[in-house]
Amino acid sequence: MTQSIQPLTQPASLDLKKLNQRFEKVHPKEILAWCIANVPTSLVQTSAFNVDDLLITDLFYRDLKPVQPVPVLFLDTLHHFPQTLELVASARGIYNLNLKVYRIQGVTTRKDFAAQYGDALWDKDITQFHELTKIEPLQRGLAELGAIAWLTGRRRDQATTRSDMPIFELDQQQRLKVNPLANWTRKETWAYVFEHDVIYNPLHDQGYPSIGDEPLTTSITEGEDERAGRWRGTGKTECGIHF
C-alpha cells in the first residue's frame, strides 16, 4: 500500500537545509514532482515566459501531468515586448494553461499607465515602477490563488548575484519559494528546449537571454551575465520580486 503524503501547510516547519541537500543534484523534474506531491492544491508557477519558465511549464504538462493543473501566474506589466505577449498566447494554447494574469489595479493599457503615472516612470522612479507593475500584483496574485509554495525559473549561473541561491527557501511571507532550475546551467536548459521542441521567445535568438519590460531590456555582449541587459545603467540587479 502506498503511503499517503500529508499536504504541506506550514512551510516554515520544513528543514530547508536537509531538503536542499536531498535535491541538490537531482533533475528539476524530481523537484517538481516533490512539489506536486507535497503541495497538490496550493502550488503556483510564476512565469515571465523566459526560456527557463517555459522549460518548467513543459515538464509539468509533458511529463508530470498533475491531476490539478498548476496555475501559471503572469505579471502583465503593460510594458512587455510584443513578442512576449504573442508567446504567452501561443503557450496558453499549446499547453492549455491555467493562466492567471495579474497587473496594476485600475489601469489596463500602457497609455493609461502613462496618463496616470507620467511618461517613462521607470526613468524617474524605477523602484515605484516595479512596485506598481510587479511587486504588488505578484503578492496579490499569490494571496488570491492561495499559494503555499511558488516556483521561479531562476538559475545560479544567470548572474553572480544568484550564484548561492538555494533550491528551496522561504519568502518574506513565509511561503515556500522553489527554484527547480537552480542547479542547472544555461547549456542544460537549451539542450532540453531543443530536444523537446519547447517554444521560446524569438528575442532569445537576437541577443536577449533575459527578457523583461521593453523599455528596460537591452541585448548583451559576449562575456556579460545573462541578466546584464536588464535595467542597464540603473544599478539594479533585481526588480524587487527576488531579494
Alpha-carbon distance 111 to 98, whole Å? 28
Nearest to 178 by CA among 13, 64, 20: 20
Active site residue 239: yes
How many residues in the chain? 243
Q: Of these residues, 56, 83, 239, 242, which one is catalytic?
A: 239
Who contacts 50 (Cβ-Cβ below 8 Å, separation ≥6)?
A: 153, 201, 210, 211
User: Cα–Cα distances in Å, from 72 out to 138, 174, 198, 199?
Assistant: 12, 20, 16, 16
CB–CB of 94/57 below 8 Å?
A: no
Grid cell at residue 189: 536548459
Nearest to 226 by CA among 189, 178, 197, 195: 189
User: Cα–Cα distances in Å, from 126 out to 53, 73, 86, 130, 242?
Assistant: 24, 22, 26, 6, 15
User: Cα–Cα distances in Å, from 96 out to 27, 91, 102, 178, 181?
Assistant: 24, 8, 18, 23, 23
Residue with cell 496555475: 71
| Catalytic residue annotation | 239
